[in-house]
Chain A
Amino acid sequence: SQQGEEDPQALSIQEGENATMNCSYKTSINNLQWYRQNSGRGLVHLILIRSNEREKHSGRLRVTLDTSKKSSSLLITASRAADTASYFCATDGENYGGSQGNLIFGKGTKLSVKP
């Protein structure tokens, strides 16, 4: 099973609206990362938040982390059609399965932004 699980699985919004995606995970972490994947392409790293941070910003992106609830959220403000992509969270599952110390990716949220 996955360490991180994104919610919702799919999200459709109009250009200019905000998009919020959530990620829940199971074990303790050192950091949590968000990635973006355009259709048929590789993943692109967006932002990393450490376990001792609660909020981080990068341009139109805002990430929050609640380690007590083992959850994170990614907010994209004033969305554009070009934001259409799948978004994945990844955690460093220190004691999780065969990927010890490596990143473990969720199944992603597919975001569609309509012009």
Chain B
Amino acid sequence: DGGITQSPKYLFRKEGQNVTLSCEQNLNHDAMYWYRQDPGQGLRLIYYSQIVNDFQKGDIAEGYSVSREKKESFPLTVTSAQKNPTAFYLCASSWLSNQPQHFGDGTRLSIL
């Protein structure tokens, strides 16, 4: 059963701490994305990757970092430089950049 798995579902961050959100897909998609969603808002693109070992900043990349060492995996690190990290984070994948995206069920990040 193909899909995208995000973990954990809930995550709490302490002041000054970096945290990493996991995203794994078995759809054999080349492109992967990280979005941030705030209450009542649409999705804002943080980072995207169109191929292994390559990624680009989206609209709100400051305070975040990513890696793409394997086609299946695209982890997102929320660094201590991100001063307002509380949000719902969604990972997605697709064949091409403007084609339908498949989404995971998100990670909700809060500050302790």
Q: Report the interface size for chain A: residues with CB under 8 A from the other chain.
A: 25
Q: Which partner residue on chain B sits nearest A107 by CB separation? A: B42
A-B contact count (CB 8 A): 60
Q: A40-B106, A42-B105, A43-B103 are in contact. Are A101 and B98 (CB under 8 A)?
A: yes
A42 — nearest CB in chain B belongs to which residue? Answer: B103
Closest to A30 in B: B98
Chain B proximity of A97: nearest CB distance (Å): 6
Q: Fill in one digit per residue for B88-109: 1 if any A CB lies within 8 Å of its CB, else 0.
A: 0010100001111111111010
A102 and B43 in contact (CB under 8 A), knowing A41-B106, A44-B103, A45-B102?
no
What is the size category of the interface that chain B forms with chain A? 20 to 34
**A76 CA / B35 CA spacing, docked (Å):** 27
- Chain B 3-36 residues near chain A, CB threshold 8 A: 4, 6, 33, 35
For this complex, 26 residue pairs linking A to B, each with C-beta atoms less than 8 Å apart, are: A2-B42, A31-B98, A33-B100, A40-B106, A40-B108, A42-B6, A42-B103, A43-B101, A43-B103, A44-B103, A48-B99, A48-B100, A88-B43, A98-B57, A99-B45, A99-B58, A101-B97, A102-B33, A102-B48, A102-B58, A103-B97, A105-B35, A106-B42, A107-B40, A107-B41, A108-B42
9 tightest CB-CB pairs across the interface, nearest first?
A42-B103, A92-B98, A45-B100, A105-B43, A107-B42, A105-B42, A101-B97, A43-B103, A98-B59
When distances are taken between beta carbons in the complex, the residues of chain B under 8 Å from A88 are: 42-43
Nearest A-chain residue to B104, judged by Cβ: A42
Is there contact, CB below 8 Å, between B105 and A45?
Answer: no
| Residue among A30, A40, A101, A102 with the highest chain B CB neighbour number at 10 A | A102
Bits for A88-102, please: 1 = Cβ < 8 Å to B, else 0. Answer: 100010000111011
Q: In the complex, A97→B97 CA distance in Å?
A: 15
CB-CB nearest in chain A for B3: A42
Report chain A residues within 8 Å CB of B4.
42
Find out whether the CB atom of B103 lies under 8 angstroms from the CB atom of A98: no
Considering only residues 48-67 of chain B, those with a C-beta below 8 Å from chain A are 48, 57-59
B interface footprint on A1-30 (CB within 8 Å = 1, 0 otherwise): 010100000000000000000000000001
